[in-house]
Structures are given as C-alpha cells and as structure tokens.
Chain A
Amino acid sequence: MTINRTNYETYFLRYVDGDLSDAEQLMVDGFVAENTDLATELESLLQTKFVPDTAVVFANKKQLYKKENKERTVLFFTWQRIAVAAAMIGIVFMVGIILPTKDSVHPIVINSTIKNKVADLIPNKESKHPIAINSIEKNKVAELMPTKKSILSNSNKKQPINHYAVQLKKPVIQKISIQKINTPIAVVDDATIKAYDSRLTVKNMELLTPNKALNSAKTDAITLQDHIEKTATANKPQESAEQINKAIVNNTNESSTIIHRAVYKELDTETDNNSLYVGSIELNKDKLRGIFRKAASLLKRKTDQPTDKSFLE
C-alpha cells in the first residue's frame, strides 16, 4: 500500500510511533519531500512525542527491597523435629544392644571344637547323613581300619575314594557314615565272588566280620550281612554281581584290594566353630585375627621407622 494525500495522516502517526518498517519510512520521507506543505504537519506530530524525564526517580529504593526471612524459620522447626526423632531412635537402638536378652550368652562364649552329636557310628535305617563322632568314638573307628598292608597297597596309586575305603586323618575328627543298604557289601570270600562274575579279581579280601562291625553299629550291619547271604544263594547272581562291582569301584586292577565297610570321613571344616559371641553380637574369629594382625603390623612399622631414618642420616 502506498502513501497518498488521503491516507498520509495514518502513515504520519505510525511514523511518530515508530511502527513503520524501514521501507515504509523511506516511502513517507519521499512523500513528504514531494509534498512540502505536509512536512509541517509531520513535524508538529513529531513534537507531540514525549522524552523520558530522567530527573524523576523513586527516592529511597531500600523500602522496596525484600528478604525471605520467614521461610527459614519454618525450615528450622522441621530440622529440629528430625533431629529429635533421630536422637530417640538412636537411644532406643543403643538400649536394645546394651541390655542383655534371655537368649544371649554371657559373658564371652567360645564354642568348643568338639561336637557332641550322635555317638553312634552307624546311622539308623532312615538316616541318610554321615554321623559325627567324637574322639572316643574315633577308637571304634580305628577298629574298622584296614590293615597296614591294605593301606599301603592302595596308597601307591592315587585312587578315588572307594565307597568301601576307610580314610582317616589322625588329627582330625571325622565323621563316619555307612553306605546305604542298597549298595552291596564287601565280598565275603573268594569263592563267593568267583561264583558270580569272572571280572572280579579281588583277592585277599578281608572279611569284616559282622561281629566287629556290629559292636559299634546297629542293626544295619546285620541287614548287610543278611544281604550278602541272600546274594550268596545266587537267586539273582547277575544282580548281586553288579552290586558287587559297584561296591568295588576303581579297584579291579589291584590284586590286593581290600574291601571294607564303607565309611565317610568328613573333615571338620565348619566355620561355626570360629564364631565369637560378645553379648548378643556374633563375631568371626578369623576376621578378628586378621584385624589384630594388621594392627600389629602397623605398630611394628611405626616402631621401625625411627631406625630407618637414622640409617638415612
């Protein structure tokens, strides 16, 4: 839209307000230059424009500034409450620790390494886990030990644990378990073995007489003996032969393998014996030892330091 003598006033007013673009301003300037009589009108409109009087200011602006003081007091009270609640919880916790309970051990209890569990060497029919023995029962176990010859003959090679091999470490109290009834017992004699399977090459087998076994055992030995007798009658020779083979594991190559009653020896590696009770708190002995050793080493280093310095000097 171009400026003309009918719409110039609108353009002039917008010119005064600064609402025109650069191109429009140039257009108005050109129009005014062509129509000089309208120049005074534009000039009079420009005189109506006000200029800010910077001398007029708001004195004492401090009255207008603000600070957020009230909100801080609210936060203070909430923190106070939190601190009181935390202190109460801490007191209750400490009282619960310090006061001895009924179940707590006084003063310091050290668990003995000797367990008084089942004294019987042989478990019941229903029991499936090995039986722990004490030192007394250890002697009874020794009775079940094979002879030296048998041990030596077997110790030449590294053989896996035979179900029927007795393994005892002298200083360690071991558990003894007797195999299940399902597995066959050692062969009674050579003749009986030969009668069932030619694969059997076991010789010089010692018979664990039922008497020896049953002195410290229960009825399971008797049942084992019965089982052997039953198998010996050869109603099912193949099955008993297989059972015997299963019993004599990894010993077919040995000519002097001795089959004994199966026992399992369990080493006492339980970590429960290392627990230390202080009040109601359970501590680990091994960890304590480690901490004390570290402390001792640190102290040692400190005492050794002056000697090192003297060396450097």
Chain B
Amino acid sequence: MTEFEYNQCVTLYADNVFRFIMKNIGHEADARDIVQSAFEKMWRNKQHVITEKSKSYLFTVAYHQMIDHIRKTKKIKIVSSFEQDERVVYQTNNQLKQTLLQALNQLNETQKSLVLLKDYEGYNYQEIGEIMNLSESQVKVYLHRARLQLRNYLVSKENIR
C-alpha cells in the first residue's frame, strides 16, 4: 500500500468506521480515538496491507480496539437506556428510529457489532466472521438472535403503548 492509497482509504472509509464505532459505544470522543488509532496502525503496517482488503482491515482493527476500550471502561449503558426507554414509551411509534437505536443498545457487544456490520456496511456472513473472528455459522446464529431480540423489543414497546 502506497501513501496515496492510504490517503484514499481515509477519504473513503473514515466516516464508515467512525459511524460503526459511534453506534457501538455512543461516545464521540472515544470513537474518534479508536478510529485514529485504527488508521495509525494501518499506516504502520501499510507495507503488509493489501489495498483491496483495506476496508475489512480497518473494521477489524477498529472492532478489536473498541472491545478493548469497552472492557477497560466497563460502562453500563443498559440502565441509562432503560430510563430513555421509559421516556420513549410515551412517545409515538413514529420515532421508530430512536426506538430501534434503543433496542440496539439492549444487545451485547457482539450482537450489536453483527447487526451494524450487516446493515451499515453490507458485509456477508463470511466477511463478518473474518472481522470478528467467528465462523460463518456462528455469525448467522448470533445475528438471527439479535434480530429476534430487536423485533421483540419493538413489539413489546408497541404492546405497552
């Protein structure tokens, strides 16, 4: 990978990686740090990185750094999300998007990453497995469980209303 190709990756994938990390951890500053460290690592190893696989390389590095970050900080967001859910209960279902984001926060780190990699970036099961170090069947099972959980959360909100 040359200098020009690296800078091209910054232009093409910086927003995607940031969005992915941001939706996972919900903290902008921490997400920027993770994105910067991921690109820094790719720059240091640019001689070994294939340009065609640079996107998956970035997501892989960013994901692992995010996991490390989460384990270090151990932020409990579930409680805060519940409080937000109570506020959402009295709102209309037109705010489906926000409800969905809340439902996303209900998931664990792995399920959340699976859903975001699948829906945001359009990776297939195999590519998601390479990024998250899972087998294809594991990805399929975990993702289906996450979807059902999201569906149940949405349905429950509607039922409560």
Contact = CB atoms under 8 A, between A and B. Distances in A.
Given A13-B143, A56-B23, A68-B3, 8 more contacts: A44-B151, A47-B151, A47-B154, A48-B151, A57-B19, A61-B10, A64-B14, A64-B36
Contact of B18 (A57, A66, A67, A68): A57
- Give the top 10 A-B pairs by smallest Cβ distance, nearest first: A50-B119, A58-B18, A48-B150, A58-B14, A57-B15, A64-B10, A13-B144, A56-B19, A52-B120, A64-B39
Contacts of B55: none
7 contacts: A16-B147, A17-B143, A19-B125, A58-B14, A58-B32, A65-B7, A66-B3
Nearest to B35: A58
B6 A48 contact: no
A49 interface: yes
B13 to A, nearest CB: 9
B119 A49 contact: yes
Interface string A11-49: 001001101000000000000000000000000110111
Nearest to B152: A44
Contacts of A56: 15, 18-19, 22-23
Contacts of A53: 19, 23
A10 interface: yes
A74 interface: no
B125 to A, nearest CB: 7
Nearest to A68: B3
Nearest to A55: B19
> Which size bracket describes the interface of A in this complex?
20 to 34
A215 interface: no
A63 interface: yes
Given A53-B19, A64-B14, A65-B10, A48 B147 contact: yes
A186 B144 CA distance: 125
A50 B18 CA distance: 16
Interface of A: 10, 13, 16-17, 19, 44-45, 47-53, 56-58, 61, 63-68
Contacts of A66: 3, 6-7, 43
A19 B16 CA distance: 22
Counting chain B CB atoms within 10 Å of each CB, the highest count among A47, A51, A68 belongs to A47
B108 to A, nearest CB: 16
Contacts of A45: 147-148, 151
A61 B32 CA distance: 10
Contacts of B10: 61, 64-65
B94 interface: no
A50 B14 contact: no
B14 A61 contact: yes
Interface in B1-32: 3, 6-7, 10-11, 14-19, 22-23, 32
Nearest to B147: A48
B3 A48 contact: no
A13 B18 CA distance: 27
B155 interface: yes
A61 B11 contact: yes
A13 B155 CA distance: 16
B154 A48 contact: yes
Given A17-B143, A50-B120, A56-B18, A44 B154 contact: yes
